Amino acid sequence: MDRLVSFDSDSPQATAQFARAFAAVLRGGDIVSLEGDLGTGKTFFTAAIALALGVTVPVSSPTFTLQKIYETQTGAIRRIIHYDFYRIAQAGELAEIGFEAPEPDTVAIAEWGDRFPQVCGEKALRVCLEYSGVHGRHIRITIPNSRPLPQFNPNDITESQNNGDS
């Protein structure tokens, strides 16, 4: 069982702040599944997490390379591996692009993680992005009950029990 935290972002800056609060609850070994239509901000959200975790180089889309590795400069999480599953047709290809369960000092972030529930299923922390206007995004994240909730202005977020099908 986990909790669903929802946030209505009205700007990239607000999304980045929310991503920073989310990054603070991540631990080594986590898989983050980023879900949402083209252009909703999956790469943008990843870049904000990476910045918060101490990556000092710019994060860009791994669409063509399918995976990119970033070293962090601070903290217990030493490495972020950023994947994009958009062009992956079958689960068998995941091993070919080097996807594996992250080491205890590494966080794996997969755009389009919902395409492969076998690797981004129950274990993953899910971030779902939806358009709500040109600069608006409705963001929902699942946080396991064993974790603290992101420290974010409580007036801005809605928390509920996740019934599992959202």
Q: What are φ and ψ of residue 156, in 5° steps?
A: -100, -20
The DSSP annotation for 22-72 comes to HHTT--TT-EEEEE-STTSSHHHHHHHHHHHTT--SPP---TTTSEEEEE-
By CB under 6 A, name the one of 33, 40, 106, 142 that touches ligand ATP.
40
Among 41, 62, 102, 113, binds ligand ATP (CB under 6 A): 41
Choices 5-13, 93-101, 144-152, 154-162 (CB under 6 A): range interacting with ligand ATP = 5-13
Query: Which of Mg ion, ligand ATP, none interacts with 72 (beta carbon under 5 to 8 A by kind)?
Result: none
> Is residue 140 near ligand ATP by the rule CB under 6 A?
no
3 state DSSP class of 101? coil
Kindly report each contact of residues 66-69 with a partner whose C-beta sits within 8 Å and lies 24 or more positions away, as own/partner: 66/97, 67/97, 67/98, 67/99
152 binds ligand ATP (CB under 6 A): no
Tell me whether residue 63 or residue 151 sits nearer to ligand ATP (CB atom).
63
| Contacting positions for ligand ATP (CB under 6 A) | 9, 11-12, 15, 36, 38-44, 61, 111, 135-137
